[in-house]
Amino acid sequence: MSDTTSDIGIGGMTCASCVARVERAIAKLPGVAGVSVNLATESARVSWNDTDSSHEARLRRAVRDAGYEPLAPEHLEQQAAGPWAGFSPVLAGAVLSLPLVLPMVGDLLGQHWMLPAVWQFLLATPVQFVLGARFYKAGWHALLAGTGNMDLLVALGTTAGWALSVWLWWSASAGTMAHLYFEGSAVVITLVLLGKWLEARAKRQTTDAIRALHALRPERARVIGPDGEQDIPIDELLVGDRVVVLPGERVPADGLVLEGDSQLDESMLTGEPLPVTKGVGARMTGGSINGEGRLVIQVSATGTATVLANIIRLVEDAQSAKAPIQRLVDQVSAVFVPVVLVLALLTLLAWWWSGHSVELSLIHAVAVLVIACPCALGLATPAAIMAGTGVAAKHGILIKDVQALEVAHRVDTVAFDKTGTLTVGQPRLLSLTPVANAVEGADDWLAMAASLQSGSEHPLARAVVQAAKNQNIIIEAPQAVRAVPGYGSEGQVQERALLLGSLRWMTALNLTSSASQAVPWQAQALALQAQGATVSVLAERVGSGETAQLLPRAVLAFGDEPKPGVQAALAALRAGGLRLVMISGDNLGAARAMAQRLGLRDDEVHAEVLPGDKSALVRRLQQGEHGVPRVVAFVGDGINDAPALAVADVGMAMANPHGGGTDVAMQAAGITLMRGEVALVGAALDISSRTVAKIRQNLFWAFAYNLAGIPLAALGFLSPVVAGAAMALSSVSVMTNALLLKRWSPPAAAPKNQ
């Protein structure tokens, strides 16, 4: 496994062949474990298997030696370009080429005029060698590296047309006007420049999501210090600082509210359009906008540790990564340019051997070179991924793993963790009933249960603690507390050895009842389970050694509520052809009772599943039935869901506003849902389906364009000018098609599964 990664911006790449060349140059560096170059983001991500401090310098030199410009990885985000930025070369080319094209228009209108050859030469030469210098420079570097790229094809094709025109002009008899092709070379270069400008403009739109996220981070924060409030740069914030957030300001960092009440706009982070009420003790996320109240918060995370920084990192990782389908494109582009050069040479020789003039043969060869530029191939996949992940992030769906994006549209089974995912995740303590003839009362046992659970983040533990607080019961600090995952916890409270956990655990521990207990606690617990409650038992270990007994002290019943809208969301997923599964650690009765409220069938419920067994269950679901494997998505929100999220074909971590391990789940999942809404599951599958569809459409048209265009050019049906226009149009059409994804919004119903 690699120890470190480096990101670098790369200027000057124009096509898929450039990507392959840069990857080969970087891969040759010592210590490189892997490299991924992205044409749409003009960047590379490099994994190293050592920690050499000279990585960055060697990486920049390798990029420069390959013929490209090393840039800061943030070069796209730092662009403050307007809509017409970089248009001046295109305008200059158009002004110089227009007089060359007007005689062609005149011929169509029956008017025959032609500029003198010297004027054609003077207009076309600056376009060829000044505006077109970028093609010569990049093409020359490609030749030195023993490869080819789009620039080489353009340089060879237009130079051939320009040189042919010069030769025909100089070799023409005195007083005759030879037919020249200066306009073809000049117009081709101008059209290619126009296409690259439109590409660059479209690329800036695909990175809108990243720039919008960066803009959420304010520059300064108002910190409360010994001398009162003072403004400091946000980079100087420390964990523990107290910060004032005035109405209308952005929250500078993650933290907890110490003073004040307000409503926060978190729409850019979660996609939630409605403001969220925040009071004392509430968690704050840096980048959200404060409403009308003045807040004082205590900073809990700064810099790269904040939620906003993590979101930006997830989106950047997804946009810079390569989808598996891109490997096919890389394999094709590696041999594409050499094959095109051979085809152009064969076109020249075939036309010449068939009795046509050298100039006509050369023109057809030039058309082959120009139309075959593989720009669209290089942009087809990354442009769609950038647009899809960007618009998904805008609506609260963070796609960290591009492979998950590509697989999600094939999901046919969705497995949900119950607590916190399908339910609110804040179960309430419905009742605490002391076992018959117990000396202490309910309040005493509640105090001891809350003290034992005071350090736990488990939803049931929080419910016990909250119930004690609601009754103003004093909670003491426990000793020697030990959590038993999937069962409960044990420890000492007031020097009494207590255990609180599930019926299954108590049965395994041989929990006994005294003969004097008139009402068996087991019957009471089973009755509560039959009513759909989650039941725990508080027990005490009495005595020591062989005479020790574990005696029941109280039966606790908990209840949870389904999340709003979850029943409709599950129904929509089922209507889309998906198989639904609910996984719960509860007993079968409680799980089925909740499933009925959620609109799920009994055969869709897996109950009494321990946290460590969730991943095994996901594997069984993947194996399917009758030898037919299934593609499984698992949706969870806690630490104990991480193994299942990692094992599933697509892991979806659902953000939990109450904490409880969401960060761990996010790292294990390929997709993170920033709002706790089950409807986002269908939305994630939908954007996956639409993004993959765009990738396939782009690749189809990119391949089809070359497969159709090259033979037409070789057979003489396309002039170099038409070929240049078609080549520019292909790249722009791919980018435009990808940008249509920016209009996507989550559907009201789950997508049809295909």
Give me 622's structure tokens: 């993947």
Rg (CA), the chain: 34
Question: Within a 10 A sphere around the Cβ of 508, how many other Cβ atoms?
Answer: 11
d(CA 729, CA 703): 14
3-class state of residue 592 by DSSP: helix
Q: What are phi and psi of 155, to 5 degrees?
A: -60, -45
Q: Classify strands 228-233 and 650-654 as parallel, antiparallel or unpaired.
A: unpaired
Helices (H), 395-502: 402-408, 442-453, 459-470
Which class for 162: exposed (0-12), middle (13-18), buried (19 or more C-beta within 10 A)?
buried
Pseudo-torsion of CA 699, 700, 705, 708, nearest 10°? 140
Closest to 149 measured CA to CA, from 140, 161, 158: 140
d(CA 251, CA 288): 6
d(CA 211, CA 8): 17
d(CA 338, CA 327): 19
d(CA 497, CA 542): 7
Contacts of range 585-589, beta carbons closer than 8 Å, 24 or more positions apart: 585/418, 585/419, 585/486, 585/502, 585/609, 585/610, 585/611, 586/418, 586/534, 587/502, 587/503, 587/504, 587/529, 587/534, 587/535, 589/529, 589/530, 589/532
Q: Classify strands 397-399 and 549-559 as parallel, antiparallel or unpaired.
A: unpaired
Helices (H), 354-471: 358-371, 375-394, 402-408, 442-453, 459-470
d(CA 553, CA 438): 7
3-class state of residue 327 by DSSP: helix
Phi-psi region of 427 (alpha: psi -120 to 50; beta: other; left: phi over 0): beta
Closest to 195 measured CA to CA, from 386, 374, 385: 374
3-class state of residue 17 by DSSP: helix
d(CA 231, CA 223): 6
**Cα angle: 332, vertex 336, 339; to 5 degrees:** 135
Q: Which of 265, 401, 417, 686 is the catalytic position? A: 417
Strand partners, 70: 10
**DSSP code of 555?**
E
DSSP H or E run through 6: strand 4-11
Question: Within a 10 A sphere around the Cβ of 238, how many other Cβ atoms?
Answer: 10
Q: What are phi and psi of 266, to 5 degrees?
A: -110, 20
Active site residue 686: no
Alpha carbon distances (Å) from 659 to 213, 458, 459:
22, 10, 10
d(CA 576, CA 114): 65
**Cα angle: 482, vertex 487, 493; to 5 degrees:** 40
- In three-state form (DSSP H/G/I as H, E/B as E, the rest C), the secondary structure along 146-190 is CCCCHHHHHHHHHHHHHHHHHHHHHHCCCCCCCCCCHHHHHHHHH
Pseudo-torsion of CA 437, 439, 442, 447, nearest 10°? -150
Give me 528's structure tokens: 């509560």
3-class state of residue 438 by DSSP: coil
3-class state of residue 563 by DSSP: coil
Percentages (nearest 5) of helix, strand, coil residues in the chain: 50, 20, 30
Residues annotated as catalytic (active site), given as ranges? 417
